[in-house]
Structure 1
Amino acid sequence: MRALFLAMCLALVAAPGFADEKADKPEAAKEKVDIPNPERFASDHTLKLNGEAIKYKTVASETYLRDDKGEPKASIFSVSYVRDGEDRTRPVTFIFNGGPGSASLWLHMGAFGPKQVVTPSNASGVGAPPYTIRDNQNSLLDVTDMVFIDPVGTGYSRPLGDNDGKEFYGVNEDADSIAEFIRIWITENGRWNSPKFLAGESYGTTRAAALTEKLQGGWNGIGLNGVILISAILDFQTGEFAPGNDTAHLAYFPSEAAIAWYHGKADKAKWNGNFDAFLRDARTYATDTLAPALIRGNTLSPAQEAAIAKDMSAYLGVSAEWIQQAHLRVDPTRFRKELLRREGYTVGRFDGRYKGVDPEGTSDSPENDPSGYGMDVAYVAALNDYLTRELKVDFNRPYKVLTGEPGSKWNWSLNDSGWPEYVNVTPWLGKGMRENPELKVMLATGWYDLATPFFGAEMALQKNGIVPERVQYDYYDAGHMMYLAEQDGKKLSDDVRAFIKAGQ
């Protein structure tokens, strides 16, 4: 035992010397990840658009973003459409969807690309394949070149090397990476002096407003001609149903009313069947009656609360008793379940015209969103079919449509103050408009959208330093994706086309 004890002591005495010797040796170099060269798939096409044959080049490609040492850190996949003719003064529009974490297939295959997947215009589901894919007569190729961008973590875009994507997942981080992509694209394509437009949908409007600051700000700025906001969310206080935040209830009230009108539940006789007058009153009611009532809280008498609930019932088509039990705060998720509960239906979130059937009728929220599952499979099939068969894009990895990865890791902070805050990118948009006297903004929004309500976008654009005379408002008898319906898709295309022509 004595010999064993001495041996242990010697080992302990020797240990520090052994550790120092190990520390002095350089750490083994990390094995460098083998990153292949970026892929590029180019092809020539012709689109007959409004009687005119338009020849154009399509480039589906990866663009590598690099770190300070020139090493690739991310790949951004995009599909570019450039009309033949080498016209460097022709507008170019950079287009993306939202999420955060969504690829650009929705605007690509539904609204503006040269191919379009056909969906029913009557707010019914697309059913099973095959789906019709046709030449898109709503494409913008006659007035602008287009670049459809998939942010990192979406589509075929991805982090590279030992990057986990965190560097790109956030309001600022995402905008920085897309701004860098745009800088690379206009440099490689010789388009620095072309008129430039941004077009985003949903969170893509948040990105577009942030990009206005990232691109135009500073001495290495890239000037913009126009920003197109499709189904906008700019100030997230208008969309966050958190305890104590009544702003969201005001923002959603006119959209809930519009959906009640569509399904025949609002008191149409009170407004003589005039939808426009009804919505004007709904906006005014939200700001002039509902807002003060919500601020009052429990200082409202039961009689006062009951009177307001009765007024709201005429707009929303649900019982005054149910509204009063909610203390005048009609959550849109519960509203989607309650509005048509007796008929056995729920209504959609992205588009309140859509109806779904739940397995039972007693829950307070819908099982799913019928305006989501009613169309998404057609878009996924169409985009994958188009990329692989027509554009010959040859990747084995899946095209990520809308996964939870980027969004679950998203950095929502706009600064390093450490204080809790609602994201509001509208001041960046306002700053960009004030500093660029020719920058114009277009808002395209549907009446029946319970994801990004039209009144919430209006509230954001009516303050925050926005220049009002340079904002164009366009409304659609549809929901979040107004291009799902034939007539509204054409109207969106016509409105955007006119906006680009006026702004170049």
Structure 2
Amino acid sequence: MVGTSPKINSAFAEKTSRPRRWFNCHHGFHLLNLPFHRGIQMNLKILYLFPLLALAACDNSDNPAPAGAALPAEVSSAGTFEASPPAAPPETTEAVSPEPAAPVALIPPDVAVDPGAAARLKAAELMKAGRPYEAVEALKGAGLDEEAYALIAPADYAFHQKDHPASEAMPADEAPSSKRHSMTINGKTVWFTAKAGHYIAYAPKDPKNPDKKDAKAAIFYVSYTRDDLPPENRPVTFFFNGGPGFPALFLHAASWAPKRLKMDTPNLPKLKKDLKFPLIDTADTLLDQSDLVFVDPVGTGFSKAIAPHKKEEFYAPTPDAAIVRDFVARYVNKNSRQSSPKYLYGESWGGSRVAYAGSLIEDAGTSLYEPDPSGRPTKLLTGIVFHSPSLTGDECKLFNIPDCYLTLPTKAMAVDYFLGPAKSWRGKRTLEEYADYLRVFFAERFAPTFVQYNKKEKVPGTGGKSGLPLAYQPKTPEVLALAESTLTELRNIFGDPSLKVEEAFSNYGDIPVRVPGLGGGLYDMRTKADDYDVNLFEVSIFGNYLDTMLPAYVNYFTESKYVTNICECVFDDTGSKGASMFSYKDHLRGGVVEIAQALKLDPKLKMLVIHGYYDVVTTFLETESQLKYAGLDKIVPVKTFEGGHMMYYTEAARGPMKKALDEFYMAQPATSVALGN
């Protein structure tokens, strides 16, 4: 009957954003438009009955509306619907009394439905079923990113060193501090956890005494991890600086961590009092590609040897590389990262360190790792990044020179910087094109001229038992002409018409630079200051920063001071003091031999070398020559950038460097590392 109203499902009374129309009737106020729940489909005719039924129950005037009056089209969040055809008039003239309308149950308009309730319920079910990462994705799908991260990430925990005293039984408490953070990466808010602490590096088990555990050192680290991403697809990268004798100081404070000090060399202050660098979010952090672990070798940071071992025991290439191997194994086992892709990143002498450690890791295989709790197979190494590396190799033999300085291209690039486009021999060539020209010039012009010019042919009957002073044949006209021709081009390259032939072709090719504006920068030849040494001036600045950052950002509290070099001395303006503490008592290791060994054990191992154009400490030509002489140049690519030793100090270099590193991480045989990004 017209006066009868069906039951209205409460789901159709959900609030919507469109305004409600109200009208007065003898039953009180009723909604003319009843909104309905999104996603519920229903027959349009039934939907249209709701306003008809509501109107039929009302008496808004002295006379009821005529039977069969048409209703206007109704507009709702679901769309516009046409009115139903008018009802046929009754066939009898007898008065018909309408039956009383049944009361309509309405949900109050101020009651909201929690859009995340379903996601939370689903997440709870997935967690109960042991599928945590699917639970995370369920919450993320509802926009509950922070809740998703909290579902699986460790809670914030402040580690106070004084509350965890070391003992012989427990030389270091391996419980890390933790603190959750978020930042914007590639336009998206990303959550991550900062942690700090020690892991004990144990020596590999002795087959003759497998129950004995030799705790060698407690290694301090700081990590940044995206715990909401499945570990089997999420790489982890271990960072090491060099020296030898430095902690992960430079890389941690200024390269790819979520926070960094902005340096922007060569634009350094001229006066020491103005050495202040802003702390900024690292928009180009490598956290989008990998979890990051910054590692301090024994004697640096808060890392220490465990008695009866002494720190000096590890100040040589072989035990140093072994402790890297053992720390990586301990970190992996404690964090169940066996199936994660793993990378080593070594800067300067740290490049030698990771070359050697990489070969040891590959050689040990899975023997150092516990089984992955998930049952997935253990991965060893996926890749190694050599950043401004100091490698061992026979680079000079490539050019048939007994000993050599391969600094010519680097110095020429610095000269180009100071002379500027108008005066430089580079002309309209790009930096990359000019570097290629200098490589060819050194190999095909300078090196052959140097060899010919320094070739000595003894004059018969002189020296030895003859009693006559040793004498050599004079240089031939052909050699002198060759030297003069090469010298002319060298003068143009170095912008120095006063350059003499002896300066060019003596001292193993270490050509002097006399260009206006040149400072004393070795790590970046473009740097210059008035009252301080531009080489390693940042050590104390970075050390003070980490002392402050660790409690504030990482929740790690200690009364000790962060050790910035193995001699535990304060750096002053005279430069490095720690490197001399490092002994090469076994022999030089960490270079092309170890790289070749690692590749032999795993031909799929990815490698990348990155260098700065203006770094005269470890030059790009030196590394390229070592790899070429060893036959590795087609396997291990070298890429150069507009910077010095620490290219990440230079803002102009960061973008191209990050692009190259992104390509490296994403290259085959890498896994899909961008999962969740």
Give the corresponding residue for 1:43. Answer: 179
1:431 equivalent in alignment to 2:600: no
The aligned residue for residue 514 of structure 2 is 339
User: In the alignment, what sits opposite 1:8?
Assistant: none
> Highest relative contact order (Cα 8 Å, sep 6+), 1 or 2?
1
Q: Indicate conservation of the 8 Å contact 1:310/1:320, yes or no.
A: no
Q: Counterpart in 2 of 1:7?
A: none
Structure 2 unaligned segments of length 5 or more: list them.
Answer: 1-166, 207-211, 368-378, 457-474, 569-577, 672-677
Aligned match for 2:632, one of 466, 469, 472: 466
Give how far 1:347 is off. Answer: 3.6
Local SS of the residue matching 1:58? strand
Indicate if the aligned counterparts of 2:424 and 2:493 stay in contact, CA closer than 8 A: no
User: What one-letter code is carried by the residue in structure 2 that aligns with 1:233?
Assistant: S
Alignment of 1:22-61 (within 5 A): 36-38=171-173, 40-61=176-197
Deviation of 1:73 (Å)? 3.3
Distance 1:314 1:79, change over 3 A: same
Equivalent residue in structure 2 for 1:393, among 536, 556, 562: 556
Counterparts of 1:371 and 1:411, CA distance in 2: 23
Q: Partners of 1:493 and 1:377 in 2: how far apart?
A: 27
Q: How does 1:163-182 map to 2 (within 5 A)?
A: 163-182=309-328
CA contact (8 A) 1:313 1:323 kept: no
Displacement of 1:444 after TM fit?
1.2
**Any idea what the Cα deviations from partners look like across 1:253-285, whole Å, max 9, x if unmatched?**
111111111111899565533244432232122
RMSD in angstroms over aligned alpha carbons?
3.1
CA contact (8 A) 1:451 1:480 kept: yes
Q: After superposition, where does 1:58-77 map in structure 2 within 5 Å?
A: 58-66=194-202, 69-70=212-213, 72-77=215-220
Residues 306 and 320, structure 1, Cα contact 8 Å, conserved in 2: no
In the alignment, what sits opposite 1:4? none
Deviation at residue 461 of structure 1 after TM alignment: 2.1
Q: CA 1:284–1:439 in 2, change beyond 3 Å: closer, same or farther? A: same
CA contact (8 A) 1:259 1:352 kept: yes
> What is the distance in 1 between the residues matched to 2:539 and 2:655?
20
Aligned to 2:268: 124
Q: 1:245–1:74: structure 2 CA closer, same or farther, 3 Å change rule?
A: farther
Counterparts of 2:579 and 2:497, CA distance in 1: 36
Query: CA separation of 1:463/1:267 partners in 2, compared to 1, >3 Å: closer, same or farther?
Result: farther
TM alignment of 1:305-344, pairs within 5 A: 305-322=483-500, 324-325=502-503, 327-329=505-507, 335=512, 338-340=513-515, 343=516
Deviation at 1:45, TM superposition (A): 1.8
Quick one: distance in 1 between partners of 2:311 and 2:663? Answer: 38
Identity %: 25
1:449 aligned to 2:615? yes
Unaligned runs of 5+ in 1: 1-31, 359-367, 416-421
CA deviation after TM superposition for structure 1 residue 352, in Å: 0.9
> Offset of 1:480 from its aligned partner?
0.8
Give the number of aligned pairs: 447
Partner of 1:79 in structure 2?
A: 222
Which one has a bigger Cα radius of gyration? 2
The structure whose residues are more often helix, as a share, is 1
1:384 matched to which residue of 2? Answer: 547
Once the 2 structures are TM-superposed, how far is the Cα of residue 496 of structure 1 from its aligned partner? 1.2
Please give the alpha-carbon distance, in whole angstroms, between the structure 2 residues aligned to 1:311 and 1:182.
Answer: 50
The verdict on how the C-alpha distance between 1:192 and 1:371 changes in structure 2, with shifts beyond 3 A counting, is same
Q: Write the distance in 1 (CA, Å) between the matches of 2:652 and 2:664.
A: 18
1:311-370 CA distances to partner (integer Å, 9 max, x unpaired)?
A: 3222223455455246443776x84xx424xx4752410001112458xxxxxxxxx752
Partner SS state of residue 191, structure 2: strand
* Distance in 1 (alpha carbons) for counterparts of 2:450 and 2:631: 27
Change in 2 beyond 3 A, CA 1:245/1:87: same
How far 1:404 moved relative to its partner?
4.4
C-alpha distance in structure 1 between counterparts of 2:550 and 2:435, whole Å = 42
What does the per-residue CA deviation read over 1:4-35, in whole Å, with 9 as the maximum and x for residues that have no partner?
xxxxxxxxxxxxxxxxxxxxxxxxxxxx9797
User: TM-score, normalising length from structure 2?
Assistant: 0.60
Give, in angstroms, the shift of residue 424 of structure 1. Answer: 5.7
Instruction: Mark the CA change 1:187 to 1:501 in structure 2 (over 3 Å): closer, same or farther.
Output: same
2:555 matches 1:412: no
Alpha-carbon distance, 1:127 to partner: 5.0
TM-score of the two chains, using structure 1 as the length reference: 0.79
CA pair 276-46 structure 1, distance change in 2 beyond 3 A: closer
Structure 1 residues 345 and 428: alpha-carbon distance in aligned structure 2, compared to 1, 3 A threshold:
closer
Give the conservation status (yes or no) of the 8 Å contact 2:609–2:636. yes
The separation in 2 between residues aligned to 1:269 and 1:256, in whole angstroms, is: 13
Instruction: State the secondary structure of the residue aligned to 2:183.
Output: strand
With over 3 angstroms needed to count, the CA separation of the structure-2 counterparts of 1:271 and 1:390, relative to structure 1, is closer
Q: How far 1:187 sits from its partner (Å)?
A: 0.7
